[in-house]
Amino acid sequence: MGIAQKLVRNALWQVLSFLPKDSKKVVCQSYYGRGYSDSPKALAEELRRRGWKVYWTVKSQEDALSLPEDVTPLVIDSPKAIWHLCTAGAWVDNSRKWAYTQKRGATRYVQTWHGLPLKRIEGDAAGALDESYVIAAKKDSAMCDLFLSNSVFLTEVYRRAFWYQGEVLECGFPRNDMLFVPDREAENKVRGALGLAEGKRLALYAPTFRRDQGLSVYDLDYRRLTEALGKRFGGEWLVLAKLHPNIAAKAGELNLDRRWVVNASGYADIQDLYLACGALVTDYSSVMFDYMNTGKPCFLYVNDVESYRGDRNFYFDLDSLPFVRSEDNNELERAVLEYEEERQRERTAAFCREWGIKEDGSAARRAADWLEGKSKA
């Protein structure tokens, strides 16, 4: 964007932010405009059922393809998008808004965030953040009216590290509500989107990214993994590899063999993948805490634990997590073959008690109730 365009954009924000607000209009965004997904999607679905007008900001028209027909796409930074943001009664986002964003008047901003973190984030990892991000994050927190939390622990992180002292609703993450009422069609939906035939059972590999955005750590032996899953749980297996959005474009460099693994990085909503897949392999990603709600087998593959710990450090001791940790393919194979369902269940329950984790499938309803209560007020 050129200097003249930025000046026009900023002027529009300054002028239009004073316009009256439509109390039943919400503008949502997920992961900086990457499509219809995550907790903003789940909350938008609840608001649609209640008769709200839902708008969705996207980076491009391609990202708008995932939207339902009655959700209106808005291209980020377009005059139309700025107009609707400035006249909406509510905003919903799961990531930070840009520093030039202006919020005035009766607009209520719900920040869902995007997961219970394992690695240190925001102010707790200030040394790993760009100064421009910190400036934007502080302004974003100042604009927020409500943060959604799934635990006593995360609420404390918000208070300490997010430069935020406003209201927090410990209701869980709306994106996880669907995990408590499983969609029997989720697997068919995933298979159709990825062009997968019936027959093989599905496992999900969903690692986080590394600061250098390199791929060398993703050396999972997919053939050995699928064979181990078959021996332990029965049937033939296929791995769906979903890389973090920051490196998803590089998935083609991994030379994935479709006999054992398929690239699912382009599939927008990982919650569908949770429902479709019978096991998860991850590393330091917060997906482990979401998948925990399914009660299905979860395994940690962390072949660079010391270097990663030095980069970001962790909130939790890895050995305190409910899931077996492996540092090479031999250990991962053994972890799958020796998996004990009761052990994971007991450790999960203890972990949730220790950190005050609260998920019961009602997060979207409770967040929508909050918004409607504020609108009436």
- pLDDT of 311 reads 63
- Mind listing the pLDDT tens digit for each residue in 142-178? 999 999 999 999 999 999 999 999 999 999 999 999 9
User: What is the topology classification, in CATH, of domain 183-355?
Assistant: Rossmann fold (3.40.50)
Regions of the chain where pLDDT drops below 50: none
Fold equal for 3-178+361-376 and 183-355: yes
- Please tell me the distance from the alpha carbon of residue 377 to that of residue 373, in angstroms, as a whole number: 6
The encoded tokens of residue 125 equal 């990892």
To the nearest whole number, what is the mean pLDDT of the chain?
Answer: 92
Q: In whole angstroms, how far apart are CA 205 and each of 221, 248, 334, 366, 373?
A: 11, 13, 17, 31, 40
The answer to whether 169 and 147 are in contact (CB under 8 A) is yes
CA angle 363–365–367, rounded 5-degree value: 65
The encoded tokens of residue 82 equal 């700025």
Look at strands 88-93 and 22-29 and give their pairing: parallel
- Mind listing the pLDDT tens digit for each residue in 254-312? 778 999 999 998 888 899 999 999 999 999 899 999 999 999 999 999 988 877 776 66
Look at strands 280-282 and 298-301 and give their pairing: parallel
The answer to whether 369 and 48 are in contact (CB under 8 A) is no
DSSP helix/strand/coil, 249:
helix
The answer to whether 242 and 206 are in contact (CB under 8 A) is yes
- Mind listing the pLDDT tens digit for each residue in 347-360? 999 999 999 999 99
CA-based radius of gyration for the chain: 21
- pLDDT of 182 reads 73
- E strands, the chain, are 22-29, 53-58, 72-75, 88-93, 108-111, 146-149, 167-170, 201-205, 237-241, 261-263, 280-282, 298-301, 324-326
* Extents of the domains making up the chain: 3-178+361-376, 183-355
Domain 3-178+361-376: give its CATH code: 3.40.50.11820
- pLDDT of 310 reads 67
DSSP helix/strand/coil, 332:
helix
- The one-character DSSP state at 100 is T
Look at strands 108-111 and 146-149 and give their pairing: parallel
Which run of H or E residues covers position 342? helix 341-355
* Residues β-bridged to residue 205: 241, 281
- pLDDT of 277 reads 96
**Considering all CA atoms of the chain, what is the largest pairwise distance in Å, rounded to the nearest integer?**
64
